[in-house]
Amino acid sequence: MRKENVSYWTKSSTFTQFPQLSQDLQADVLVVGGGIAGILAAYQLAKAGREVTVLEGQRLAQVTTAGTTAKITAQHHLQYQDYIKQRGEKEARLFYESQCDGIEILRNLADQYDIDCDMETLSSIQVTIGESEKKIKKEYKAYQQLGINGTLHEKDMGLPFETTMGLEMFDQAQFHPLKFLAAMVDVCVELGVTFYEETMVKKIDGNTVETENGMEVAFNQLICATHYPIANLKHNLLLHLEIERSYIVAAKDYTPIPYAMFQVADMPERSLRHYITEDGIGLLIGGENHVAGAKDDVKLCYERLAYDAEHLFNAHDIADQWSAQDMMTQDKMPLIGRYSKSDDHIFIITGFNKFGIATSAVGSVVLRDLLMGQPNKYEELLQPGRIDTIGSQAKATAKKAVNAIRGQGKAIKDYRTDREALKEDEAGIFLHDGRFEAVYKDDEGTEHAVSPFCTHMGCVLSFNNGEKTWDCACHGSRFDCDGKVLHGPASVDLKQQ
């Protein structure tokens, strides 16, 4: 049976493994979630002298962080003109500074601990084939207004297809994210951090969490670094999070491009960067964004990227391919800080808008300061409570409701009864003996039958034919074809049927 596509980063890194939690515990700082956000927060707090425990539901850094492109950059899209409009010049500049700090933190950590993680300094460049010239020029004005270290090129940018303009941001970086984090986990252990893996947190109750395997951990302060916040954390801000999935293909033989990170600003957006392999330098091509769980033919996303690899970059072989999803916020800034005024011992770090690498690094320092009762200049800028306004709540609620209805309606309309007609490598939702079953028949003819209802809030799942998973369009949970949780907020596996 084909497994989910695995990233190059996962294949080329090795992490120390940790046991599952098998007894109740008392923790000072409890970090739930061991992706880049959780690992770096654990590091900063341990370094500041706190006693830190990390609970990871699967294996460390194997979910979103394993699927990243790993550009370390303050140039996300053409976002500074919008920041100036929405948040004013001062906050737009502060955001840029926060990203520069994030880049510096990662470089310094790699240097300080001598981590072999292919850390490189290079530019990030937004390019256009002509369609986005106006927006790029406006963004350059924003760069000048904010003092961003970059320049505008009104010429072809040397890619194997014609471009008319490029906006370059200098002194950015890229790395191998999992080689870096595997080393940081070992540093954390030396600093006294205790890690548990395969330990999914089911709920938070006051100052205690309960795990899926029935253990309780009491804590003084908790950082929720689970990407989508833990299922029973109730807050209106969760309604503001959209979940977007994207795809990456990796090619080893291709027409060389200038040594920089690129983003094609026109539609369809494409993200490009080099990566270092044992045999030389390869090219990553990313794109094909869509709302998680809401795409009928996911295979097409890979096929379109492979088509571009071949036709634009002359890359005939795809060495690796993978996909991942990230949390998107309405104002395109992350949510980092105190969860709510009433729960002032709980902190979250999420909403990275597909730029969570430098942001996790700066976020880890913000969280360290907040937990230690110290001021931090980015606290106000990033605090989650900022988006909790009545107008945007109503908009977000309506959007969620549409998503939920889309999920439910689809299953009611699409269920089948002809199970014997199911072909190999095909899936469907069937009505059988008065109950619904989500069935995938693998390419060896074995059927995998699970409940089609998401264990988070009951939305109907849809089959992802690119990864062979059941995905939820409501809040982005994902399950393998035997029902195991791959991505939260669901923390409970689907029932096998």
Ligand X SMILES: Cc1cc2nc3c(=O)[nH]c(=O)nc-3n(C[C@H](O)[C@H](O)[C@H](O)COP(=O)(O)OP(=O)(O)OC[C@H]3O[C@@H](n4cnc5c(N)ncnc54)[C@H](O)[C@@H]3O)c2cc1C
> By the criterion CB under 6 A, which residues form the site for ligand FES?
454, 456-457, 459, 472, 474-477, 489-490
Q: Which residues contact 114 (CB under 8 A, 6 or more apart)?
A: none
Q: Which is nearer to ligand FES, 127 or 474 (CB)?
A: 474
CB of 200 vs ligand FES, minimal distance in Å: 15
From candidates 10, 58, 99, 403, binder to ligand X by CB under 6 A: 58
Q: Would you give the binding string for ligand X spanning residues 316-355, x where CB under 6 A is met?
A: --------xxx-----------------------x-x-xx
**Contact status: 32 vs ligand X (CB under 6 A):** yes
Kindly give the pairing relationship between strand 335-338 and strand 346-350.
antiparallel
From candidates 52, 122, 167, 230, binder to ligand X by CB under 6 A: 230
Cα 332 from Cα 126, distance rounded (Å): 17
**Contact status: 201 vs ligand X (CB under 6 A):** yes
Q: Which is nearer to ligand FES, 351 or 476 (CB)?
A: 476
Site for ligand X in 137-156 (CB under 6 A): none
Cα 61 from Cα 181, distance rounded (Å): 8
CB of 303 vs ligand X, minimal distance in Å: 17
Q: Which is nearer to ligand X, 65 or 462 (CB)?
A: 65
Whether residue 104 contacts residue 136, with contact meaning beta carbons closer than 8 Å, is answered with: no
456 interacts with, out of ligand X, ligand FES, none, CB within 5 to 8 A per kind: ligand FES
> Coil, strand, or helix at residue 194?
strand
**Contact status: 455 vs ligand X (CB under 6 A):** no
CB of 224 vs ligand X, minimal distance in Å: 9
**Contact status: 204 vs ligand X (CB under 6 A):** no
**Contact status: 358 vs ligand X (CB under 6 A):** yes
Q: Which is nearer to ligand FES, 67 or 489 (CB)?
A: 489
Cα 33 from Cα 49, distance rounded (Å): 20
472 interacts with, out of ligand FES, ligand X, none, CB within 5 to 8 A per kind: ligand FES
> Coil, strand, or helix at residue 467?
coil
CA distance from start to end of the chain: 19
Long-range contacts formed by 190-195: CB under 8 A, 24+ apart: 191/43, 191/46, 191/47, 192/46, 192/51, 192/52, 193/42, 193/43, 193/46, 193/52, 193/53, 193/54, 194/52, 194/53, 194/54, 195/18, 195/34, 195/53, 195/54, 195/56, 195/60
Cα 31 from Cα 125, distance rounded (Å): 35
**Span of 62-70, 154-162, 183-191, 434-442 interacting with ligand X by CB under 6 A:** 62-70
